[in-house]
Structure 1
Amino acid sequence: MEDAERASAYAGRAGRAVPGDRVRGVRRAGAAGGRAVAALGAAGLLLSGCASMPDHGEIRRVDASQGVDSQVRVFGAPPADKASPADIVDGFLEAMTSDDPQLATARKYLTEDAAKDWRPGSAVTVLSAGLDRVRVEGEKDPDSPRWKVTGKKLATVDERSAYQPETGGKRYEEFLQLVQVNKQWRISTPPSSLVLSESDFQRIYKPVNKYYFSGGTLVADPVYVRQRSDPDSRMDPTTQTVQSLLDGPSKWLGPVVSTAFPSGTALREGTKSLSYDGQNTLRVPLNEKGSNVGQPQCQKMATQLLYTVRDLTASRLDRVELLRSDGKSSLCWVTGVAAASIAGRPAPPEHQYYVDKDSKLVRMVLNANADEQQQDKPEVAPGPLATAAGFKVGSAAIAYDEKRAAVVSDDGHGLYVVTLTTAGQMPQPLLTSKTGKLTPPSWDAQGDLWVADLDPQTQGLYRIPGGTGAPQKVDVAGLDGGRISALKASSDGVRIALLVEKEGGRKNLFIGRIERPEGKGDTSRLSVRELRPAAPQMAEVTAMSWAPRGRLLVVGRESGGVDQARYMLADGSMVAAGLPGATGLTAIAAADDDSKPVVAFSGEDGIVWLPPGAQWRTVAAGGKAPVYPG
């Protein structure tokens, strides 16, 4: 007996019901199929709910399993003997949400040919709620009924496992054709992709990062893999993630990154599971395409794998070893220490910066474990800013090497780049805004400086190459009449987060891809492309910062809610952890290092810190505009 049938049968004998607020839309298995839920708790019981199901009618909503978390396993029940067309449709739609690894139960609702050809793992359609289904009236052949299933699209997950939010309330619509096979109704035209509600999607799939190179820097590319075996490839989550890495970057990120793996590289044929040895080493066997490379290239390949798998697993990973196509001989290996030097990530920051009550740029040595009495006192940032009489700083950005600062004057009209290593006179402004204001600036890891001008006459996004060249106006596709009110370039230099204000004053967060011209010719053609919503769950965003592992730390509010600070995945797919007690914040900054405290500005408390595992504490009663290097 298969797992799904065994779970359903046990649930029926147990006679226990799952409360309605735990699982919705669960039906009596003997009537029309449905789902059995296995709660993975101390009792280890298999539970099943029951509710009557009509076999005819007009529009019927198939509800999602709202409230079921990832620790609960849901199994479909096979079709009952002589089930009606309506029961077959509903049973199939619910069986698609099953944790059955191969979706074997869902295939039982299909004709033999349809079950053989169906590839549900190739793509996923995510809906904001459940499906509506209705029988199509007026069909010429009453013995071959057709059902229309519809819903509101929230997102799609493509063949490379990348999540793409839908905008504009796009509708999902497909038709399921039913035929009789040996006097049993079956579906001959299943959906072209797996169709899941948002809650089912978050239960079945997990977000992971795979990593690619932009120049000499690793870039996180967020994707989703199944929490258990994939129904098509039969691979476990780690192996799915590695194969997704080998398949190449997502379509959105692809134009600005590259991979060290040769074209056609895949896992050795038959590899379904990857395991760790006693020395915390992951061994990955490759096919012939990936087995003929030199050591420098191989170590870059291993570095991509180490960062990808380290984000995925809770166990410690110290080393990745690549194996040749024989599955035995070593191609190369890389340790975590060696991979860190290959990855080209910015060094951890030594200071945290903010503008004090006297409009001076100050910095504090990062000593997050010290108590308030031992905490190092802020010092005025060295260089021309320390001695410039009468110059007031409004906002600042610090280069990753902490040798230069870009500051906007307190009136918002002038952008200056100053050294933090030697004394001297204040330089002339690199960019001025005559009647408007400049946003706080931002550095990327390639040494370029970014800022937006709010002056209606010169409004737009500007880049100062190397922080020294002439400002270049950057074309931003997809603004649709909005203006950029804040920005933050990612440390990898290939993405930029833009806070866009549209008519009515509401601000929403978008991420754009920074496309740089190839070679060393004309750099003025640099542009920002394919803006996509980064926080669609938020009705309005107040402040944001990049955070470790390609995430965003966002201050904002949901519709009808209060302001809060939450980590968000950069593809706009879901809200991750929130920050406790984060109310009244109007600015926030996070380092590209989980061990450093989050720093923010509160109108009531001034500059506040949230060290890892601790509570918020005030570090400077006066001040504003907190930043980390970047």
Structure 2
Amino acid sequence: MAYAAGGTLLLAGCASMPDHGDLRGVESTPRQDTQVRVFAVPPSEDAAPPDIVQGFLEALTSDDPHYETAKLYLTTDAARDWEPEASTTVLADGPATTADLAGGRDDGTAYSFTLTGTRIALVDGQHSYTPVDGDYARQVHLAKDSKTGQWRIDRLPQGVVMGQSDFQRNYTSVNKYYFASDTVAATGAQPAAVAADPVFIRRRVDAMTQMVQSLLAGPTTWLDPVVRSSFPSGTELEKDATLTPDDQNKLTVPLNDKAAGVSTAKCEEMAAQLLFTLGTITPTVDRVELQSGGRQLCSLAEDGADAVAARGSAEAPEYLYFLDGDHRLVRIPSGSKTTTAEPVPGALGEGSRELRSVAVSRDEDTAAGVGSDGKGLYVGSLTAQEPLAEPVVVSQGRTENDRLTAPSWDIYGDLWVADRDPANPRLLLLQDGEGDPIPVATPGLDGRIESVRVAADGVRVALVVEKDGEQSLVIGRIEREGAAGQPPSVTVREMRSATPQLSQITTMSWAGDSRLVVVGREQDGVQQMSYVQVDGSTPEVAAPDALSGVEDIAASEDERLPLVAFSEDGIVRMASGAQWQKVVKEGSSPVYPG
């Protein structure tokens, strides 16, 4: 069905649905231009049960803000009890329908249909995306109104269901920003902002207001134990508020009285959360003003938000680092086009100890490297000429593949590494890169850790885990406990898969506040490079150009910096919108700080 109104193209699906016989598919609407508005069509007079079900399913994929047209296909009681925002089930294709033989068909007063399909993902009531699999089967029941003689759906599952292409057209992934609980960034006295909460919102249904409402509702359940919001509990937008920036790109956000008594410092943290969050959906907000009861609480410009909070994607590293042909740590300016590298200051740049993997602290004052045999982890200063000390961690693994992984630094200046010794596999943390290693608990981990990368926010860690010859990329939540001045108790909890489709992971790196770049392959497939979100969804960015024989990949949370890889051509890099270019032939283990 198609019609025009107000100059906007209006589209609806054109699938067919049986009321008896074999199972047939209600095909998902083909992927449309994301600017095309899709409006639902109300039920026609004397529509048959199959047409009611089909019209209802099509209405679920429309841009109707509150599903008012979809509710016209329901009885009054069903419309009142139905909660479309409870969840969104994503199927590989649009839901197929088959008419059930039971349910009063003989007297012509009731029908029922079963909706079926193959599940891909579930978006819950908090807008959090989770990859799922398995079969989907839910029943809808129809009854004929005794007064009007019209068929309507009187029983149906909560939430909405649609095919993958409709989901991609209707929804977009955005980041909500919160602060790490009771922590400060190692680089300053301001709280560390966290970009760990990607959620999906409806793309063309007042996305700005949706996003602010979701932010005010608080972090998703997975992230909640390790972050805080600066908004007082119970803070909401004023009733019926719709958010639109003015002609000066200032957004006024009216809040209820829960926010009325906040201090200026707390209000600026709230404003920073809003600016970071809104920056993921629009470039047109330069300033936010928070109000409560018609009174201004504070106003903060975009360039002032980074002074309030530290954010990984805003911390541009000074250098790109890698190992040269002599296995020394060298560096080049991160934003330059030069191919001439210089040894780093200190012992790790002198070549007294050959290295096979490295990591540089986020303040770029310290580096850590694993020796060429994989046994020892060495830490050296990049600001002072000091001899290389004894290794801070030593693995007893019998082979190089059973020893230490490449290390990783977090924002607090702590160093992470995994020991792959089959007799004593362990994940370790060294406070400030020194002292006795602290064992990190990993409840629920099923397999051996092959790679470790800590996110810039300090509350998430990406792990490549191997079991039975297959690897998977999982994201875990970092929880720290302990009294001040005492070694912390550190646990990585609730690990969830970010690449359920891959069976082999060659290398990975953080490539944004909630995004990673991954090199791997599907079962019986070829090596591929792609971006993934921490929730397992696929971001709306093109995959990097193919590159042969990739062994290591390095990306920065600052997405403006080039992607760098170690491949069969040596160290290569690719700026946004460009092609791969060779940096040096003899080199390995490229890394940005982190």
Counterpart selection for 1:378 from 341, 349, 371: 341
Question: Is the partner of 1:417 in helix, strand or coil?
Answer: strand
Counterpart selection for 2:194 from 203, 219, 224: 219
Provide the residue aligned with 2:224 in structure 1: 254
Question: Is the partner of 1:526 in helix, strand or coil?
Answer: strand
In the TM superposition, residue 538 of structure 1 has moved relative to its aligned partner by 3.3
Counterpart selection for 2:329 from 361, 364, 367: 361
Q: Deviations along 1:88-137, whole A, 9 cap, x unmatched?
A: 22322222112233323322211122123322123212223232333333
The question of whether the paired residues in 2 share the 8 Å contact of 1:498 and 1:510 is answered with yes
Q: What TM-score comes out, normalization by structure 1 length? A: 0.86
The 1-side partners of 2:349 and 2:481 are apart by 38
The 2-side partners of 1:359 and 1:531 are apart by 34
Question: Is the partner of 1:192 in helix, strand or coil?
Answer: coil
Provide the residue aligned with 1:349 in structure 2: 317
2:271 aligned with 1:306, yes or no? no
- Comparing 513-522 and 349-358, the one that deviates more: 513-522
Q: Deviations along 1:16-44, whole A, 9 cap, x unmatched?
A: xxxxxxxxxxxxxxxxxxxxxx9x9xx97
- Comparing 136-145 and 207-216, the one that deviates more: 136-145
Question: Is the partner of 2:429 in helix, strand or coil?
Answer: strand
- 1:463-612 aligned within 5 A: 463-480=429-446, 482-503=447-468, 505-517=469-481, 519-520=483-484, 523-558=487-522, 561-575=525-539, 576-603=541-568, 605-612=569-576
Provide the residue aligned with 2:188 in structure 1: none
The 1-side partners of 2:155 and 2:9 are apart by 36
Provide the residue aligned with 1:4 in structure 2: none
Matched letter for residue 559 of structure 2: D
Supply the RMSD in Å over aligned alpha carbons. Answer: 2.3
- 1:180-191 aligned within 5 A: 180-181=144-145, 182-191=148-157
Q: Deviations along 1:535-590, whole A, 9 cap, x unmatched?
A: 22434322111112321111223456532322222211124321124343221111
The 2-side partners of 1:159 and 1:49 are apart by 26
Question: Is the partner of 1:115 in helix, strand or coil?
Answer: helix
Matched letter for residue 322 of structure 2: Y
Q: What TM-score comes out, normalization by structure 2 length? A: 0.91
Matched letter for residue 379 of structure 1: E
Matched letter for residue 253 of structure 2: V
* Bigger RCO (CA 8 Å, 6+ sep): 2
Provide the residue aligned with 1:82 in structure 2: 46
Provide the residue aligned with 2:254 in structure 1: 285
The 1-side partners of 2:208 and 2:318 are apart by 35
In the TM superposition, residue 56 of structure 1 has moved relative to its aligned partner by 2.1
- 1:135-154 aligned within 5 A: 135-139=99-103, 142=106, 143-154=109-120
The question of whether the paired residues in 1 share the 8 Å contact of 2:13 and 2:58 is answered with no
The question of whether the paired residues in 1 share the 8 Å contact of 2:87 and 2:124 is answered with yes
The question of whether the paired residues in 2 share the 8 Å contact of 1:535 and 1:572 is answered with yes
Provide the residue aligned with 1:25 in structure 2: none
The question of whether the paired residues in 2 share the 8 Å contact of 1:551 and 1:567 is answered with yes
Alpha-carbon distance change, 252 to 48 in structure 1, aligned in 2, over 3 angstroms: closer
The 2-side partners of 1:138 and 1:345 are apart by 58
The 1-side partners of 2:496 and 2:386 are apart by 43
The 1-side partners of 2:15 and 2:249 are apart by 49
In the TM superposition, residue 50 of structure 1 has moved relative to its aligned partner by 5.5
2:209 aligned with 1:239, yes or no? yes
The 1-side partners of 2:491 and 2:65 are apart by 43
Matched letter for residue 202 of structure 2: R
Alpha-carbon distance change, 51 to 296 in structure 1, aligned in 2, over 3 angstroms: closer
Q: Gaps (5+ residues) in structure 2? A: 184-190
- Comparing 209-218 and 189-198, the one that deviates more: 189-198
Provide the residue aligned with 1:3 in structure 2: none
2:204 aligned with 1:228, yes or no? yes
2:178 aligned with 1:197, yes or no? no
Identity value in percent: 46
Alpha-carbon distance change, 79 to 345 in structure 1, aligned in 2, over 3 angstroms: closer
Provide the residue aligned with 1:129 in structure 2: 93
In the TM superposition, residue 411 of structure 1 has moved relative to its aligned partner by 0.6
The 1-side partners of 2:412 and 2:75 are apart by 56
Q: How many corresponding residue pairs?
A: 573
In the TM superposition, residue 521 of structure 1 has moved relative to its aligned partner by 6.9
2:417 aligned with 1:451, yes or no? yes
The question of whether the paired residues in 2 share the 8 Å contact of 1:353 and 1:363 is answered with yes
Alpha-carbon distance change, 464 to 609 in structure 1, aligned in 2, over 3 angstroms: same
Matched letter for residue 194 of structure 2: V
Question: Is the partner of 1:10 in helix, strand or coil?
Answer: strand
Counterpart selection for 2:376 from 414, 425, 444: 414
Alpha-carbon distance change, 198 to 322 in structure 1, aligned in 2, over 3 angstroms: same
Provide the residue aligned with 2:186 in structure 1: none
In the TM superposition, residue 278 of structure 1 has moved relative to its aligned partner by 3.2
